[in-house]
Amino acid sequence: MLLARDLALELLSGRLSPIDLVARCAETIAARDPEIGAFAALDIAGAEAAAAVPGLAAAPLAGLPLAIKDVIDTRDLPTQYGSDLYAGHRPAADAAVVRQVKRAGGLVIGKSVTTEFAFMQPAGTRNPRRLTHTPGGSSSGSAAAVAAGMVPLALGTQTGGSVIRPAAFCGVTGYKPTFRTLPTVGMKTFSWHLDTLGLFGARVCDVGFAAAALTGRDLDIGDAVAQAPRIAVVRTARAHLAEPASHAALDAAIAAATRAGAVVREIALPDEIEAADAAHPVIQDFEGNLALADEFDLHRDRLSAVLAAYLTRAAAVTPDAYDEARRTAKRARQRLGDLFADYDMLLTFSAPGAAPAGFETTGSPAFNRLWTLMGTPCLNVTGCADAQGLPVGVQIVGRFGRDRAALLSAAFLERALAN
């Protein structure tokens, strides 16, 4: 994989030029993407032209190429949201986060494959770790592009589990920052209280570096890690959905963290927090019914069967049920804040197991939805694998708004698992 932070330092020092890095990415894409299918659109020439701008290496992203999930508007590249309905669509303006990328000196090298409107219909991308397996979704292409070394960084989005799950399946670091840390303006909305932009990179320090460069926030942790963090392990009420490989990965993470000096304790999540897991689909359904109303009302026949059926069901959620779900979520957020008085981080599953074989499903967001609704920073940490050698991730959940601490916690665990 390409190491974003190290490459940025090489670019800044002049030992590497943005043009050469684009060429390296383009070569890897040419070699590997025909079998992986991570890209919905490419703009190598555009990235080359942008790479030639003098002084680029002094910018925060230093000329690093990025893949942008194709639910995010780009004025220079087609934006199809994973749907034939938008074949050839060219938005009038870049999404806010795309402007952040360009303002920071990042190069948009292509649009990465998304499932249809970031929902559940698989989109054909293959997992670079095993081509017979799904890369997960809905940020399928973003995770796969980083895993295959085609780009050092990629932008994705998570409404259920669409950053952490594909990161886990592809063996890359996925980072879902605190809700609204990255602006969603110009992203195709599915659920405005859930849609969260996130980042994919090789290591924890790479996604932290990228988030710092995009937002100007103090998130570039470099070599630092958390010191002796207090870790609460939460297998959650859905622990039975986790396969042995995921339990084994969590056990390995616990052992590694303990060896590295962490104070680790297994706890049951308070009922008020667990209750919010069931509130997530209510909120997503109610808002999805409105956010995709145009497509559903006017072009139902051109939606996938799974999405059309979902939106049909979603229309039945009442305002009262929605309001109650929002209240449940609010109570859970407050209770979760209390929990962080005693713990620096939560440690849980990233996904039920390793990437499922085949392409019938992109996997389950069962271990992600609650944290999306909580708005907390989450990271998939790499370093574990199942008996077949497929990556299995573990997930760090940090405190709302404390993203630097979450990154440092994740870096602690990443290092512990590597030792």
Interacting residues toward its own copies by CB under 8 A: 75, 86, 89, 92-94, 96, 99-100, 102-103, 180, 183-186, 189, 192, 215-217, 287, 290-291, 293-295, 297, 318-319, 323, 401
Residue 161 has which token pair?
């589990």
Of 100 and 348, the one with the shorter C-beta distance to its own copies is: 100
Of 42 and 183, the one with the shorter C-beta distance to its own copies is: 183
| Helix, strand and coil in the chain, % to nearest 5 | 45, 15, 40
Least distance to its own copies, CB of residue 314, Å:
13
Least distance to its own copies, CB of residue 75, Å:
7
Task: Provide the 3-class DSSP secondary structure of residue 111.
Answer: strand
Report how far residue 1's alpha carbon sits from residue 390's, in angstroms, rounded to the nearest whole number.
16
Instruction: Tell me the CB-side half-sphere exposure of residue 33, using CA atoms within 13 A.
Output: 26
Active site residues: 69, 138, 162
Least distance to its own copies, CB of residue 190, Å:
9
Of 285 and 414, the one with the shorter C-beta distance to its own copies is: 285
Least distance to its own copies, CB of residue 324, Å:
12
Of 202 and 221, the one with the shorter C-beta distance to its own copies is: 221
| Beta bridge mates, 39 | 112
Q: Count H helices and E strands in the chain, helices first.
A: 14, 11
Task: Provide the 3-class DSSP secondary structure of residue 340.
Answer: coil
Least distance to its own copies, CB of residue 188, Å:
9
Rounded-to-10 torsion of CA 70, 380, 267, 325: -10
Of 265 and 327, the one with the shorter C-beta distance to its own copies is: 327
Q: Among 261, 255, 213, 238, which residue's Cα sits nearest to residue 349? A: 238
198: alpha, beta or left, given left = phi > 0 and alpha = psi -120 to 50?
A: beta
Please state, in angstroms and as integers, the Cα–Cα distance from residue 386 to each residue in 146, 243, 346, 356, 368, following that order: 20, 10, 22, 12, 20
Least distance to its own copies, CB of residue 396, Å:
22
Task: Provide the 3-class DSSP secondary structure of residue 67.
Answer: strand
Least distance to its own copies, CB of residue 336, Å:
16
Of 138 and 215, the one with the shorter C-beta distance to its own copies is: 215
Of 102 and 203, the one with the shorter C-beta distance to its own copies is: 102
Amino acid, res. 193: H
Q: With contact defined as beta carbons under 8 Å apart, do 178 and 400 qualify?
A: yes
Please state, in angstroms and as integers, the Cα–Cα distance from residue 137 to each residue in 121, 127, 376, following that order: 9, 11, 20
Q: Which residue has the tokens 């440690």?
A: 347
Report how far residue 180's alpha carbon sits from residue 177's, in angstroms, rounded to the nearest whole number.
8
